Chains A and B, each alone.
Chain A
Amino acid sequence: MKRIAIDIKNLSKQYFLGKISSGTLARDVTSIWSRLIKKTDPNSIINYEKINISQKENRIWAIKDINLKIMKGDIIGVIGKNGAGKSTLLKILSKITSPTKGEVEIHGKVASLLEVGTGFHPELTGKENIFLNGAILGMSTSNIKEKLNEIIHFSGIDNYIDTPIKRYSSGMKVRLGFSIAAHLDADILFVDEVLAVGDAEFRQKALFKMNDLSENQKKTIIFVSHNLNAVLNLTRQCIYLKDGKISMQGKTKDVVQKYLNNQEIIKKVDFPKNKVISFEDIYLTNEDNIRKTSFFYDENIIIHYKYRLLKRSPKLRVAFNISDTFGTILFNSADFPDGNRLEKNIEVGNYISNAIIPKRFFNEGKLYLGVTSDIPFVKTYLDIKKIFSISINFKTVKTADLKEKFEGPLFPEIIWETYKIERK
């Protein structure tokens, strides 16, 4: 039977918005004094009822009534928008701040990694900083001594370990910080965006190490990240925090799906006015007609155009292009590539055009959608280069190993056939 590692009961945390106290000792003292002698507070706003209301409005529940049981050896992802309460939750769990209500029972030694390399002193050498940072994270000196070689080796900066870290590049500091963190002897790890730093190669290494920590060393990990691919790769269970509450809890893939569907895309684009074509809306959905800009690998991406032809336009076309983050266009596509609209679609009226980009086409990553409308070689009516950024998440096709990441912006399904030829 699995044992409970973390038991969170009705956990809530309230923050005050705006000013805390009046800011100076003198004014606070007069306020407290007048409260004591039951006089009107000279620093208060005149209308008493009004302050009561504004004080209530000034309070915000960063997290509210969180109940969660985490078993030993589980690795749980926490996702949510900025301000959903992810970091507050981790801060309470790691005892950096205390909750307003509720309680948490933790069984096991805790190490929290809200950042790597906390407390590094620039004047101390790499080795001295390993001891210092390790101790800040709760390791004993003897324990660090045992693991010193392992830590140094993992960080890959063996040659510079006796140099003061003020001479290190920021990447080297991150490497060192992470390798200390990865060798902590804690049973429970709280990890916040730690993997978002360092170069791509080291990120992969770090991700792999995290996986190793949970699968082989049976550590309990709570992993907070904006990087959905990292969450999908690393965790099987996930919670989705929304406005301080658990909006959904379950299998990571389902939770991420819900999170993506929940992101409302309200983007008002001002389309340039002209006398030929007037665009009302351009948006993206998946095949279930849910508007979004983050897609799974195995979802169709549908580009919807709503527009009105203001005069008869036989040569007009509506098109889009996809470019990568460097701005290189990967491909173009138009409703009528040769610039000749179908006879029935040239008259004045309202139109809808949908372009369906088939699923299993793009690699995971970020892309940009550009939209255009023109009469070839004559006039361009619309040209918005980066109307949306599209992110593609997670390949459901499991590659052989988590370590392997295919390069390139596309990852289309290609039909392969292999035969063995018998020669006589």
Chain B
Amino acid sequence: MKKPITNYSHKITAEKKWFDLNLREIWNYRDLLWLFVKRDVTTFYKQTILGPLWFLLQPLITTIVFSFIFNKIAKIPTDQTPPFLFYMSGIIAWNYFSDCLMSTSNTFTSNAYIFSKVYFPRLIIPFSQIISNLVKMFVQLSLFFCLLIYYQVYEDQVFFIYRNIILLPIIIIQMGLLGVAIGMIVSSLTTKYRDLRFLVSFSVQLLMYATPVAYPLSAVPEKYKIFVLYNPMTSIIVSFRNSLLGKENLDPIFFYYSFLSISLLFLVGLIFFNRVEKTFIDTV
């Protein structure tokens, strides 16, 4: 197949535009995107004994710990859902979000060496993070579905997974975008302020407790509920769990709120990233 002849002429100027997203250029580099994903996924378990099993062990162990602490000791209810499934779905979703955030948040500092030697659209890196973390998440979700079937068959639990599961892709995309949006803002700022790096890793941990990962929304006292709902991750996590287990109730208005705030944050992230990518090499 003969490829169309593209005009590669371009101009380098000193102007700094507020927003200058060259989607066609990113499209031209799509092969690089896939290769980065492939690299991240395949090198993850190189020279390990358990290999891709590591993808599963981490959420599995966290789920066991959560069920023990939050369910058995703290006696927090899980809305008629088996605790194991409840925590696991929350952990998978939260991990995807926080992985996207953390891996994007040092885009500039950890890739400074490559960036100082060769040009390619810098956005490829955050985008490739969304996708390679997605691969990891799919592996974890498949384990989750196995457990779901087990509970359906042996424990006689009935889940309304068919009702909302169509929303799942949208929810997953939103989680990734939110993680990357915050990650991009952080990565743009860390080129100047290294302090943020430390702040972020521990804020993400704390943020998890402000999000209904280890507890259902219904367990939140009414007067604090509004603070939890301001967190755009809340409705995402709840909807995610809902689309899989279908036991919680959430006013759709919060879903729209999350959608809007995530889109806005993503736009802000893009602008920050865009501003920094052209000159960060002089300051990093």
Contact = CB atoms under 8 A, between A and B. Distances in A.
Interface in A15-54: 15, 20-21, 23-26, 28
Classify chain B: how many residues form its interface, as a range.
35 or more
A418 B137 CA distance: 81
Nearest to B7: A107
A187 B5 CA distance: 13
Contacts of B250: none
A96 B11 contact: no
A179 B269 CA distance: 38
B14 A124 contact: no
A135 B31 contact: yes
A59 B259 CA distance: 45
Given A101-B14, A103-B12, A20 B118 contact: no
Contacts, number: 112
A103 B10 CA distance: 11
Interface string B78-111: 0000000000000000000000000000000000
Contacts of B119: 94-96, 112
B13 A103 contact: yes
A128 B42 CA distance: 11
Interface stretch (B138-146, B208-216, B275-283): B275-283
A134 B36 CA distance: 12
A121 interface: yes
Contacts of B43: 121, 123-124
A124 B40 CA distance: 10
A108 interface: yes
B11 A24 contact: no
B283 A124 contact: no
Interface string B110-122: 0000111111100
A12 B137 CA distance: 47
A333 interface: no
Contact of B278 (A26, A28, A97, A121): A97
Contacts of B72: none
Contacts of A138: 28-29, 120
Given A119-B114, A131-B35, A93 B12 contact: yes
Contact of B8 (A95, A119, A140, A187): A187
Contacts of A121: 39, 43
B46 interface: yes
A99 B13 contact: yes
A24 B195 contact: yes
Interface string B22-34: 0000001101101
A121 B111 CA distance: 13
Contact of B282 (A15, A24, A187): A15
B282 A99 contact: no
A100 B14 contact: yes
Interface in A80-122: 91-110, 112, 114-115, 118-119, 121
Contacts of A28: 192-193
A136 B12 contact: no
Contact of A108 (B8, B13, B34, B36): B8
A91 B12 contact: no
Query: Which residue, of A20, A95, A107, A141, has the highest number of chain B Cβ atoms within 10 A?
Result: A95
A106 B118 contact: no
Interface in B28-76: 28-29, 31-32, 34-36, 39, 42-43, 46-47
A96 B196 contact: no
B249 interface: no
B243 to A, nearest CB: 35
Contacts of A95: 12, 119
Contacts of B114: 118-119, 136
B70 to A, nearest CB: 35
A92 B118 CA distance: 11
A118 B114 CA distance: 6
Contacts of A371: none
A137 interface: yes
Contact of A110 (B8, B11, B278): B8
Interface residues of A, number: 48
A132 B14 CA distance: 31
B29 A104 contact: no
A124 B11 CA distance: 35
A96 B115 contact: yes
Interface in A124-147: 124, 128, 131-132, 135-141
B42 A25 contact: no
A136 B32 contact: yes
Interface string A318-358: 00000000000000000000000000000000000000000
A225 B28 CA distance: 31
Given A103-B13, A106-B12, A98 B118 contact: no
B53 to A, nearest CB: 18
A23 B10 CA distance: 35
Contacts of B195: 24-26
A102 B11 CA distance: 11
B205 interface: no
Contacts of B189: 25
B31 A141 contact: yes
Nearest to A108: B8
Contacts of B120: 136, 138
Contacts of A15: 282
B9 A102 contact: no
Nearest to B46: A123
A138 B43 CA distance: 22
A96 B31 contact: no
Contacts of A119: 114, 118
Nearest to B120: A136
A26 B43 CA distance: 38
Given A98-B279, A119-B114, A25 B31 contact: no
Contacts of B193: 23-25, 28
A278 B118 CA distance: 56
B279 A97 contact: yes
6 contacts: A96-B117, A98-B12, A98-B16, A99-B12, A106-B8, A140-B31
In the A-B complex, list the 9 residue pairs whose CB atoms are closest, starting with the nearest.
Answer: A135-B32, A95-B119, A109-B8, A104-B12, A25-B193, A98-B278, A103-B13, A141-B31, A123-B46
Given A98-B14, A141-B35, 20 more contacts: A24-B193, A24-B195, A25-B189, A26-B195, A28-B192, A94-B119, A95-B119, A96-B115, A96-B118, A103-B12, A103-B14, A104-B13, A105-B9, A114-B118, A115-B117, A119-B118, A123-B42, A123-B46, A136-B114, A138-B28
